[in-house]
Amino acid sequence: MSQRSLMISVLFVAAVASVWLLRRLSEEQTGVGEQFFHDPDYYMEDFTTLSMDTDGTPKNRLYAVYMAHYPDDDTTELLQPKLEIYRIERPPLFITAEKGWVTRNNDVILLRGSVRLWEDDELGKRTLQVDTTDVRVLLNDEYAETDQPAIIVSKRSTIRGAGIRAWMKENRLEVLRHERTTIEQAPGAAIETAR
C-alpha cells in the first residue's frame, strides 16, 4: 500500500470517528438538557378552578395566589393554595398551605409548609381545626394524610399527635401516634390524657 493510500485511509477513519463522536456528544447534551429543563410554559396569578361532580354540583374549588404549569412532568406548582371541599348536607372543609403541587392527573395535591384544615358550622363557628405540615390530598377519594406532628382542636378537645389520616366524606380522623389529649368538661375544668 502506498504512502498516499495509507494517508487517505487514516483520514477517512478519523473523519468517520469524528462524525460518530460529535453525534454521540450531541445526543448526550440533548439528553442532559431535556432532563434538567423545568421551566413553566404558563402561569397565572389569583388562580381559581372549580371541579364538578357528574351531576353538576360543585365538588371542590382550588384557589392560589400564583400557579405555574411545568410541561416536562405535567405538574402544577401553587403558592398559598386554598382548597374548598364540598360535601353533601355538611359544611365545606377548607385546607390552606404555604405551597402546593398538583400531579399530572389532577388527582393528588401535595401541600407543603404550614397546613391548616378546618370546618365551620352553618353560623361560621369553628367546629374542627387541624394544624400540621406536609399533607397529601387525594381529591377523588376525599382523603388526606400526613406523617408529621399535628394538633387537632374540636369544640371540646385538643389532640396532639403525629401521623393523621382524614376521610373527609365520612368525617373521620385517625391519629397514628397519639401524644396527648385534653378534654374540656366545664368552663375552666379539663381532663388530660397522655400516651
Q: What integer is the mean pLDDT of 162-174?
A: 89
| Cell numbers that stand for 131 in this block | 394544624
pLDDT band at 20 (very low <50, low <70, confident <90, very high): confident
Q: Please give the pLDDT value at position 192.
A: 58
pLDDT band at 45 (very low <50, low <70, confident <90, very high): very high
pLDDT band at 39 (very low <50, low <70, confident <90, very high): confident
Residue 179 pLDDT more than 60? yes
DSSP SS3 for 106: coil
Residue 131 pLDDT more than 90? yes
- Cα distance between residue 19 and residue 12, in whole Å: 11
- Show me where the domains of the chain are located: 1-37, 42-194
Nearest residue to 131 via CA among 153, 109, 110, 147? 153
Nearest residue to 138 via CA among 172, 166, 118, 173? 166
- Cα distance between residue 188 and residue 48, in whole Å: 43
CATH level 3 topology of 42-194: lipopolysaccharide transport protein A fold (2.60.450)
Nearest residue to 46 via CA among 94, 11, 3, 80? 80
- Cα distance between residue 178 and residue 7, in whole Å: 81
| Cell numbers that stand for 92 in this block | 365545606
Encode pLDDT of 91-109 as tens digits: 889 999 999 999 888 889 9
User: Are the C-beta atoms of 56 and 76 separated by less than 8 Å?
Assistant: no
Q: Please give the pLDDT value at position 168.
A: 84
Q: Please give the pLDDT value at position 51.
A: 87
Residue 28 pLDDT more than 70? no
Global pTM exceeds 0.75 = no
